[in-house]
Amino acid sequence: MKGEKCNTLAALATAMSSGEVETVDLTHTLDSDFPVIVLPPEFGQCAPFRAEVVSRYDERGPGWYWQNISMCEHTGTHFDAPIHWISGKDLPNASVDAIPATAFVRPVCVIDCSKECAENEDFLLTPEFIQAWEKQHGQIPAGDWVLLRSDWSRRSSAAYLNMREDGAHSPGPSADAVKFLVEERDILGFGTETVGTDAGQAAHFSPPYPAHHLFHGAGKYGLQCLRNLDQLPPTGAILVCPPLKIKNGSGSPLRVLALVERASK
Amino acid sequence: MTELLQRPPKKDPQKRTVLPTTPPSARSRKAIAFSTAAAEGRLALQTCAECDHVIYPARELCPKCWSMDLQWQDIPDGGELIAETTLRTSVNTYFRERMPWRIGTVRLDAGPMVLAHIHGDVGEYERVRMIARTDKSGQGVLMALPEKETANMADDKQLRTLTCDPKHRRVLVTDGRTQLGQCTVNALAKAGASKIFVGIAREWRPYDGSAELAAVSGVELMPLDITDTISVNELAAEIGGKTDILINTAEHVRPGSAMQRHGILTARDEMETNYFGLMRLIQAFGPGMRGRGADGDNSACAWVNLLSVYALSNWSVFGTTTASQAAAYSLSQCLRGEFAGSGVKVVNVLFGPLEDSWRQPLPPPKVTPKRLADAIVHALRQGIENVTLGPVAEDIVRRFRDDPFVLERELMQAPGGQAV
Amino acid sequence: MGQGNSKRAGYEGVVVAVPVSVPYERFSPESAHWWLAKALADLGKRSGLAVDDIDGLCVSSFTLFPDTAAGITQHFGLTPRWLDHVPTGGASGVVTLRRAARAVQSGDANIVACIAGDTNHVDSFRAMLTTFSRFSQDASYPYGSGGPNGSFSLITSHHMKTYGTQREDFGKICVAQRANALKYPDALMKSPLTLEQYMDARLIADPIVLFDCVMPCAGAEAYLVMREGDAKGQNLPFANILSTIERHNAFPDDPVQIRGGWAMDKDEFWSMAGVKPEQVDMLQTYDDYPVISVMQMEDLGFCEKGAASEFIQANTLTYDGTFPHNTSGGQLSVGQAGAAGGFLGLVEAIRQLTGEAGDNAVKDARIAAVSGFGIINFDRGLCTGAVLLESGQQ
């Protein structure tokens, strides 16, 4: 038994060394100018990333450089815990510090909607679209992460948030798609390239913000502001996404990685 | 007539920047009261409460009746030049660098004889109009101007040492997303600013007026978020050496008192913009401007801070915002001290409630963004350091002068819409 | 008060003697203490008096800080029973004489040493201007920092405009003083000056030119005030005091200074002495700028007010001329050694009246008028004074 386990990891290590298994970085750089979600001004706001130099080989510390950083739990590439939303507030193990660590290293399915999103900035992922994808790649296994590839991460600045007077315009799942993924597929969590797991216009959906409301209400997790999803296969990759262990944390900025078999590309 | 000031040539990169020197700054405590009025653009002299004698230079005692009740009062600005000279040498480096320099004796209509700087368009023994302004040392001085406007009058070499005219100067407006910022840009363009750098925070968020703003002549939109040290430092690295005037239009205003607030985040946001934002700007742009206080016709000359008049005394309706404004006001005073000797003026505009969304429910009278913008440019052209704008601000300042502790209690009794 | 001024007592039996001038230097590394010490030491040497014989001390100096006359007593080993420190600048010669003479006359002191001196470091003049007085600091120095050049250019142009005084008149004063200075070995200005040079000179503050301005320097002057009997007993030549006046802040409402305090007291000045201006053999004026010398000629009554131009043009002003004026060259040609400048004319007059003048001696000099003017506080000089001296020699 002991020998078998060692062999698995040894095989992985060998595959990684040889390049057979590649590590893909799905994370944006934490940059003070990276867009954050915008709420109506009378609500509390998501703090952008900020860094203040503590010392930089100067009179404040002659031999070392370090910074104090500040941000919201939901700034940059980040993880959403169920407790983030009111629908998940009473669930067990719903804050980042309590989520079992197994959730942070799991297989991932990637649904490519990039072509549709390029044509329609308000594209909505539907159960039908998912089922069509499954016809090609097989049914989404329970306990997997599901990522929506929109290529939205290639947009920058104003085009990324795509704010207009009637709010943001960006793709996301329909309420039915969320219900389908929860009830029919029991996925582990859902991730997007956009600033939230919900579509830009999701405030007007029923229920509002269905991805937040329904996923978190069902104890599912979220990942936002991902990038490089075009480098992932539809299935077969392993997602590595451990958030910071913040006491009662609703989420956390994090480094998201994927292990990808070269042969599967 | 005065020779028209031409747009300054590009700076010769081989020449060392001329370092600022200043006229004498030492004054007695009494004379500082004169400087204080001059900073507001007022010509005030001591007047004896008992015999009405107008007194100059500032004294402790009326030389006519020995009354010690001397009040600072605005006096009529008329006078007559009765003797004049052109200095061609001086023991002071500042003046030595600017010779020849015209001074003269003026008999004020109010009575006293004064020594004053003389505008080049004033003729021999003519009647003059007197102004009191702070000079490059920050202290008040008198200057005699022609009684009637003359051609290019503002371009007079000696007058320009007292003013901060935006003409041919390069100005940074720190926040162009607001109506206030955009009105300020328009007023500066009209005043002949050669370049108007306009800070835009969070370019990824659209804002009203952006197209019109970009179309203003001389405008260059720059990424600037004063809540972000990196952003401020990056912009200063790019344009800090050619920022002649800085106008901080960024503000973060939210209604609410300390107990109405749930947590400190909103207050922190207020401090991030109103206090730390100013501090970041000072650290990034201050040293460069301080070093360029004598850098030719487009030297660095002014730093404008816009402050709610409630910075003087807290109004709980905007309790935490005004606390941050008080911090900013205090920091502005610090900046004034740090700029002493540089010839760069710190212009503080204390204004009453602004006509904007955050102050929308407040009753009139309010100050429109355009009026505030025009007041900024007027202050720069006139060389005025302390501006009080709008009926509410004037009322508060008047009460503050009377007794700041009484004002504090009056404001406690004014929880509603009307401040006092 | 309806009774008018009280009648001034005379100075019978009180004399001035032992004129001491310590040769001036443009710049000196020494402190004012050194210059005062040198003056006092010379007084002792020249008079033959011992330290203990001096029981009165009167000091004038701008640069003595942090000391005053009080600290000087210990420094110089004096134990005087009368002490004064006179701050009247260019009027300090006359004013110290007045103070000391009354002290001797009343028996408060036997022999008063009057000493004035200042040093001049490289930056002393600028430093002194910046802190000269509160009014100057508040209301005049910030306007171009021209120092006295600025103030006196306004006074000069105002005098010219009011009375038609010409630059040639000021020039004649300067040129004559330079001629006098060439005969006075301790003058700092050694080259001759012509009216043409004066007229063509570099402008300093219109209409003042280079030669209208004194050159700040280091130096000291001193003399003794004592009883006539003591002077005789010591075999010291002396001069008698015929009359004196002083006045401060006269005519404060004149828009620009056009006259000095002398004009208020000149009748008493002459009547007390029983002398008329025509009887005066020489005039030593305070000449920080020639316009002030002109004002003294007018206000002391040597000519009508406003008639100085004709008076100057009608006379020769050299030591050997029809109206000997500033016979050592005055400050304009000797140099302005701070408060010692207020002593320069008085000490020169004593030298002339005691027969101690050199090549610049005024022939048969019997009566000298000396006047002083000092402290440009804001826009004008505040302190004025004058004295008439008569030679004690037979």
Residue A75 near residue A35 (C-beta atoms within 8 A):
no
* Predicted pLDDT of residue C394: 63
Interface contact flag, C146 B90, Cβ < 8 Å: yes
Q: C121 CB contacts (<8 Å, ≥6 apart)? A: C27, C28, C29
B184 shares its domain with B155:
no
Question: In Å, how far are A38, B38, B110, B119, C342 from B52, measured between CA atoms?
Answer: 63, 21, 10, 30, 38
Interface contact flag, A45 B269, Cβ < 8 Å: yes
Q: Does some domain include residue B43? A: yes
Interface contact flag, A157 B266, Cβ < 8 Å: no
Interface contact flag, B91 C129, Cβ < 8 Å: yes
Burial string for A132-166 (b: 16+ CB within 10 Å, else e) reads ebeeebeebeeebbbbbbbbbbebeeeebbbbeee
* Predicted pLDDT of residue B296: 92
* Predicted pLDDT of residue B416: 55
Q: Does some domain include residue B19? A: no
Interface contact flag, C126 B23, Cβ < 8 Å: no
Smallest CA–CA distance from C144 into chain B, residue: B95
* Predicted pLDDT of residue B420: 40
Residues of chain A found within 8 Å of residue B252, distances taken between Cβ atoms:
none
Touching chains A and B? (3+ Cβ pairs < 8 A): yes
Structure tokens at B15: 């020449």
A29, A33, A46, A71: best to mutate for the B interface, most B CBs within 10 A: A33
Q: Is the pLDDT of residue A4 over 80?
A: no
Interface contact flag, A33 B269, Cβ < 8 Å: no
Residues of chain C found within 8 Å of residue B23, distances taken between Cβ atoms:
142, 145
B149 shares its domain with B186:
no
CA of B206 vs chain A CAs: smallest distance (Å): 7
A212 tagged catalytic: no
Smallest CA–CA distance from C140 into chain B, residue: B115
* Predicted pLDDT of residue B417: 47
CA of B242 vs chain A CAs: smallest distance (Å): 25
Of the candidates C137, C149, C379, which has its C-beta nearest B28's C-beta? C137
B220 shares its domain with B331:
yes
pLDDT tens digits for range B127-150: 999 999 999 999 999 999 999 999
Q: Does some domain include residue B359? A: yes
Residue B91 near residue C129 (C-beta atoms within 8 A):
yes
**How many angstroms separate the CA atoms of B59 and B43, rounded?**
16
Residues of chain C found within 8 Å of residue B89, distances taken between Cβ atoms:
146, 149, 204-205
Interface contact flag, C140 B115, Cβ < 8 Å: yes
Weakest-pLDDT range from A40-49, A114-123, C245-254: A40-49
Q: Does some domain include residue B419? A: no
* Predicted pLDDT of residue C2: 57
Q: Is C148 on the interface with B (CB under 8 A)?
A: no
Of the candidates A44, A45, A51, which has its C-beta nearest B230's C-beta? A51
CATH of the domain at B245: 3.40.50.720
Residues of chain B found within 8 Å of residue A194, distances taken between Cβ atoms:
none
Q: A92 CB contacts (<8 Å, ≥6 apart)? A: A98
The DSSP result for B110-154, as a single string, is TS-EEEEEE-TTPPTT-EEEEEEEE-TTS-EEEEEEESS--TTGG
The separation between CA C164 and the C-alpha centre of its own chain, rounded to angstroms, equals 26
Q: What is the rounded average pLDDT for all residues in chain B?
A: 95
**How many angstroms separate the CA atoms of A182 and B362, rounded?**
49
Q: Does some domain include residue B10? A: no
Q: What is the rounded average pLDDT for all residues in chain C?
A: 95
Interface contact flag, A161 B204, Cβ < 8 Å: yes
* Predicted pLDDT of residue B112: 96
Of the candidates A38, A52, A53, which has its C-beta nearest B205's C-beta? A38
Interface contact flag, C129 B27, Cβ < 8 Å: no
pLDDT tens digits for range B323-337: 999 999 999 999 999
A37, A42, A50, A166: best to mutate for the B interface, most B CBs within 10 A: A50
CA of B25 vs chain C CAs: smallest distance (Å): 7
The residue out of B124, B142, B160 marking a domain boundary is B160
Average pLDDT over residues B23-37: 96
Q: What is the rounded average pLDDT for all residues in chain A?
A: 95
The residue out of B119, B136, B160 marking a domain boundary is B160
* Predicted pLDDT of residue C393: 81
Q: Is C153 on the interface with B (CB under 8 A)?
A: yes
Residues of chain B found within 8 Å of residue C138, distances taken between Cβ atoms:
27-28, 30-31, 34, 57-58
Q: Which residues pair with B136 in a beta bridge?
A: none
Backbone angles phi, psi at C243, to 5 degrees: -165, 160
Give the strand order in the sheet containing C111-118. Answer: C82-85, C56-60, C111-118, C218-227, C14-25, C238-248, C381-391, C367-376, C282-284
Interface contact flag, B230 A160, Cβ < 8 Å: no
Q: Does some domain include residue B61? A: yes
**How many structural domains comprise chain B?**
2
Domains in chain C and their CATH numbers?
14-123+218-233 (3.40.47.10), 148-213+238-391 (3.40.47.10)
Residue C369 near residue C353 (C-beta atoms within 8 A):
no
The residue out of B125, B160, B195 marking a domain boundary is B160
CA of B281 vs chain A CAs: smallest distance (Å): 14
**Which chains have at least 3 CB atom pairs separated by less than 8 Å from chain B?**
A, C
In terms of residues, how long is chain B?
Answer: 420
CA of C4 vs chain B CAs: smallest distance (Å): 21
Touching chains C and B? (3+ Cβ pairs < 8 A): yes
**How many angstroms separate the CA atoms of A166 and A172, rounded?**
17
Residues of chain A found within 8 Å of residue B203, distances taken between Cβ atoms:
33, 157-158
Question: In Å, how far are A108, A152, A167, A214, A246 from A82, measured between CA atoms?
Answer: 19, 24, 25, 10, 14
B218 shares its domain with B313:
yes
Residues 49-68 of B with CB under 8 A from C: 56-58, 63
CA of B330 vs chain C CAs: smallest distance (Å): 27
Backbone angles phi, psi at C101, to 5 degrees: -65, -40
pLDDT tens digits for range B106-130: 999 999 999 999 999 999 999 999 9
B155 shares its domain with B63:
yes
B179 shares its domain with B314:
yes
Residues of chain B found within 8 Å of residue A156, distances taken between Cβ atoms:
204
Average pLDDT over residues B357-372: 94
* Predicted pLDDT of residue B415: 59
Domain range for B129:
29-160
**How many angstroms separate the CA atoms of C229 and A113, rounded?**
125
CA of C221 vs chain B CAs: smallest distance (Å): 27
Residue B169 near residue B183 (C-beta atoms within 8 A):
no
pLDDT tens digits for range A202-223: 999 999 999 999 999 999 999 9
The candidate with the shortest Cα–Cα distance to B254, out of A32, A45, A203, is A45
B202, B204, B234: best to mutate for the A interface, most A CBs within 10 A: B204
Weakest-pLDDT range from A135-139, B127-131, B245-249, B262-266: B262-266
Out of A78, A84, A213, A216, the active site residue is A84
B111 shares its domain with B194:
no
Q: How confident is the model at residue A263 (pLDDT cuts 50, 70, 90)?
A: low
Question: Who has greater pLDDT, B77 or C6?
Answer: B77
Interface contact flag, B88 C204, Cβ < 8 Å: yes
Structure tokens at C289: 């700028």
Answer yes or no: pTM beyond 0.80.
Answer: yes
Q: Is A157 on the interface with B (CB under 8 A)?
A: yes
Q: Does some domain include residue B16? A: no
Of the candidates B63, B88, B115, which has its C-beta nearest C379's C-beta? B115
Residues 3-62 of A with CB under 8 A from B: 32-33, 35, 38, 44-45, 47-48, 50-53
**Which chains have at least 3 CB atom pairs separated by less than 8 Å from chain A?**
B
In terms of residues, how long is chain A?
Answer: 265
Q: Is the pLDDT of residue B215 over 50?
A: yes
C126, C132, C138: best to mutate for the B interface, most B CBs within 10 A: C138
Residue spans of chain C under pLDDT 70: 1-3, 394
Q: For chain B, what is the largest distance between any 2 Cα atoms, rounded to a whole number of angstroms? A: 70
Interface contact flag, A48 B265, Cβ < 8 Å: no
CATH architecture of the domain with range A15-36+73-264: 3-Layer(bba) Sandwich (3.50)
- HSE-CB at C164 with a 13 A cutoff on CA atoms is 6
Interface contact flag, B104 C144, Cβ < 8 Å: no
Q: A1 CB contacts (<8 Å, ≥6 apart)? A: none
Interface A:B, Cβ pairs < 8 A: 44
Q: Does some domain include residue B17? A: no
Which H or E run contains C127? helix C124-130
Q: ipTM score of the complex? A: 0.92
